[in-house]
Amino acid sequence: MMANTATASLTVSEPTITEKTLLQRCLEGERKAQKELYQTYCNAMYTLAYRITSDADLANDVLQDAFIDVFRDLKSFKSSGTIGSWIKTIVIRKATKQVRFENRFERFEEKHDVGISYQTFSSRLLEREISALPEGYRTVFTLSEIEGYKHAEIASMLNISVSTSRTQLFHAKRTLRERLKNERDNY
């Protein structure tokens, strides 16, 4: 079942009483609670997986694999953050692992970052152009520019160097800038 691409807000804070109760019910193997947990986070997690993989089928596979891990490893969840942020980490790791499996990251020498303003373009056009980026560029771009991760965090998640993360972002922005300039010139 494909989740839609709505994005939920996930914050890093202590679990609520309701969340703790839901987690306890899941740990006890209650299927209804597991379904509720899945439905609470599936849309946001699908969107994140899709942004990283740029493929609906892969995103669904990542989502399924991630939730299998969530329910298998739920007992290891530490309540120092939200369950949403924990699930998000699992989805990011699964999606990036899948992308690496599909294609290896291209390694480039580090260059200086370039700025680009995205506000003047439609979200549909931006989503299409981001999806068309090579996997390495798209993954780092999504984690940095959309999800707000720092290069050190991205490097750790993707098992790459910080300079590779910066380089991938540099090339992603440059490629987007060129494609968006061509779009603007064609109107």
Give the residue with greater pLDDT, 46 vs 124: 46
Q: Which domain holds residue 162?
A: 123-185
Q: Which of 102, 135, 169 is the last residue of a domain?
A: 102
Q: Is the pLDDT of residue 126 over 90?
A: no
Cα(80)–Cα(42) distance, rounded to whole angstroms? 22
Q: Mark whether 89 and 142 lie in a shared domain.
A: no
Strand ranges, E, within 16-149: none
Mean pLDDT value across residues 96-116: 52
**Amino acid 46: pLDDT:** 94
**Amino acid 41: pLDDT:** 93
CATH number of the domain residue 82 falls in: 1.10.1740.10
Cα(93)–Cα(71) distance, rounded to whole angstroms? 16
Q: Mark whether 26 and 66 lie in a shared domain.
A: yes
CA-wise closest residue to 157 among 71, 67, 64, 88 = 88
Task: Identify the residue whose tokens are 């989805």.
Answer: 91
**Amino acid 55: pLDDT:** 84
Q: Mark whether 152 and 90 lie in a shared domain.
A: no
Mean pLDDT of the chain: 78
**Amino acid 6: pLDDT:** 38
Q: Is the pLDDT of residue 115 over 60?
A: no
Report how many domains make up the chain: 2
Q: Is residue 88 part of a domain?
A: yes
Give the residue with greater pLDDT, 29 vs 115: 29
Phi first, then psi: give them for residue 64, nearest 5 degrees.
-65, -50
pTM exceeds 0.85: no
CATH number of the domain residue 148 falls in: 1.10.10.10
Q: Is residue 11 part of a domain?
A: no
